[in-house]
Amino acid sequence: MPHELILLKNMSQPGYTGSLADYERAGGYQAIRKVLGKMPPGDVTDLVKRSGLRGRGGAGFPTGVKWSFIPKDHPGPRYLCCNADESEPGTFKDRQLMERDPHQMIEGMIIASYAIGVRIAYIYIRGEFVMGAKILERALAEAYKAGYLGENILGTGFAVDIYVHRGAGAYICGEETALLESLEGKRGLPRTKPPFPATNGLFNKPTVVNNVETLANLPYIVNRGVEWFMAIGNPPKSTGTRVFCLSGHIKRPGNYEVPMGITFREMIYDIAGGMRGDKPLKAFIPGGASASFFTSQHLDVKMDFESVAQAGSMLGSGGVTVMEEGTCMVWAAENLLHFFNHESCGKCTPCREGSSWLLQILRRIEHGKGKMEDLGTLARLCPNIAGRTVCAFGDAEIAPILSTLQYFRDEYETHVREQRCPFRRAPAPDLIAVGHG
């Protein structure tokens, strides 16, 4: 059954360029007319709260609730940061949302700024997105010219400036407090919480960090109302659509916007065309590299926050990666641990040292030098990392290991028993461990 597109609707129209004129023709910048000077800011926060909108950046925190943590009586400046760092392996939706329909997100930022009382907002975009940064700069210039940004917007007296701030290659800067450190011109090391950004954020001022996709939803919630939004998805906990990013051994990879609550089976087989070469599915990651692996037995799990969590993983960033029969799970875990080891910021010992140990053990097993006791070491090491670190990266890095050990323990054992990877005929032509920088 086809369903309505929201965030990808404009860009799916033939000839839509994402220019201001195109966005306005599609009904853009009407939502700020309904909000600025017309609704008290607190009502806007309330509207977002009632819509049930939850963050699309990974943690799924209710957006309106997050905004309401900003102290009402705080005199000084407050800040909004759009998290456009998109670096979670398997995730590539924010890039599309920014490059093909930048004004949608900018309008969302204006609405959020008004609700929170923000005068200066930043878009923290990952350094590699050079094209995205240029497109945003151009879109911001258009919005300034049209009077949607800067002083006295639409004659309402409300003012906000938005600046693009480029990162420079560090996954951890997607973590919201690392993002703030990085924006302040420092090394991107996550901060210990509390205090939370809502009270002590950017430049030590009250700050909200929201993901690109979260912000892009705002104009539609304003325009079409809470009831409409609440009816999409799997309410009350998972309202609205998600843009899921399909990758791996799939026939039609790419970004697909669907209401939350359809099953992974529908997504993988009906929408994305099924498995490449029609091989059986062996495993899939349901929500980016930080999410625990699922297997074919999880295909009927619903794609919403609660259902995926109940089944033992997380919807995370929306990156769904499918792997066909014949894919080595030890190899997959090793690849991901290479990522985590490379990207650990090094602030906490369990994460910094642990990720390196985990990688070395996995590499040993994959390359035919593993010992049976390595499996016990992995299982013992992981829980000593999770929950003992400054940021959630520590929980993320063990997810691929614990879940593959849980569902594919026999595969680990075969590697050790046969002293080789049973899936490779020739020695693995490695994607080697030489990082850059």
Partner 1 sequence: MLIEPYKDRIAEILGRYPEKRAALLPLLWLAQETQGYVSEEAMREIAGLLDLTPPQVFETVTFYSMYNLRPIGRFHIQVCRSLMCALVGAENLLSWIDAKLGLKTGGTTPDRMFSLHQVECLASCGTGPMMQINDEYYERLTQAKVNRILDDLRRDGKSDLASGPFMFPEPSNKSSESSCRTN
Residue 351 interacts with ligand SF4 (CB under 6 A): yes or no: yes
172 binds ligand SF4 (CB under 6 A): yes
**Contact region with ligand SF4 (CB under 6 A), list: 138-146, 153-161, 385-393, 413-421:** 385-393
Query: Closest distance between ligand FMN and the C-beta of residue 124, in Å?
Result: 9
CB nearer to ligand FMN: give 57 or 248: 57
Q: Based on the shown chain and the rule CB under 6 A, indicate whether residue 86 belongs to the binding site for ligand FMN.
A: yes
Q: How far is the CB of 437 from ligand SF4 (least distance, A)?
A: 16
Nearest to ligand SF4 of 304, 397 (CB atom): 397
Residue 388 in contact with ligand SF4, rule: CB under 6 A = no
Query: Applying CB under 6 A, which part among 88-96, 233-241, 250-258, 383-391 lies near ligand SF4?
Result: 383-391
- Contact letters for partner 1, residues 187-226 (x by CB under 8 A): xx--------------x-----------------------
Q: What is the 3-state secondary structure (H, E, C) of the chain?
A: CCCCCCCCHHHHCCCCCCCHHHHHHCCCCCHHHHHCCCCCHHHHHHHHHHHCCECCCCCCCEHHHHHHCCCCCCCCCCEEEEEECCCCCCCCHHHHHHHHCHHHHHHHHHHHHHHHCCCEEEEEECCCCHHHHHHHHHHHHHHHHCCCCECCHHHCCCCEEEEEEECCCCHHHHCHHHHHHHHCCCCCCCCCCCCCCCCCCHHHCCEEEEEHHHHHCHHHHHHHHHHHHHCCEECCCEECEEEEEEEECECCCEEEEEECCCEHHHHHHHHCCCEHHHCCEEEEECCCCCCCCEEHHHCCCECCHHHHHHCCCCCCCCEEEEEECCCCHHHHHHHHHHHHHHHCCCCCHHHHHHHHHHHHHHHHHHCCCCCHHHHHHHHHHHHHHCCCCCCCHHHHHHHHHHHHHHHHHHHHHHHHHHCCCCCCCCCCCCCCCCCCC
Binders of ligand FMN in range 100-129 (CB under 6 A): none
Q: Which of the listed partners (ligand FMN, ligand SF4, partner 1, none) does 257 bind, with a CB threshold of 5 to 8 Å by partner kind?
A: partner 1
Binding mask 214-253 for ligand FMN (x = CB under 6 A): x---------------------------------------
Considering the complex, state which of residue 105 and residue 275 has its C-beta at the smaller distance from ligand FMN: 105
Segment interacting with ligand SF4, rule: CB under 6 A, options 49-57, 119-127, 346-354, 422-430: 346-354
Q: Give the binding-site size for ligand FMN (rule: CB under 6 A).
A: 22
Q: By C-beta, is 116 or 173 nearer to ligand SF4?
A: 173
Single out the residue of 70, 123, 209, 358 in contact with ligand FMN (rule: CB under 6 A).
Answer: 209
Q: Let me know if 54 is exposed, middle or buried by CB neighbors in 10 A (0-12, 13-18, 19+).
A: buried
233-234 and 207-211: which strand pairing?
unpaired
> According to the binding rule CB under 6 A, does residue 59 interact with ligand FMN?
yes
Q: Which does 237 bind (CB under 5 to 8 A by kind): ligand FMN, partner 1, ligand SF4, none?
A: none
Candidates 62-70, 101-109, 220-228, 345-353; binding stretch for ligand SF4 (CB under 6 A): 345-353
**Among the candidate windows 39-47, 289-297, 320-328, 341-349, which touches ligand SF4 by CB under 6 A?**
341-349
**CB 401 within 8 Å of CB 408:** no
Binding site for ligand FMN (CB under 6 A): 55-59, 61, 83, 85-88, 172, 174-176, 209-211, 214, 391-393
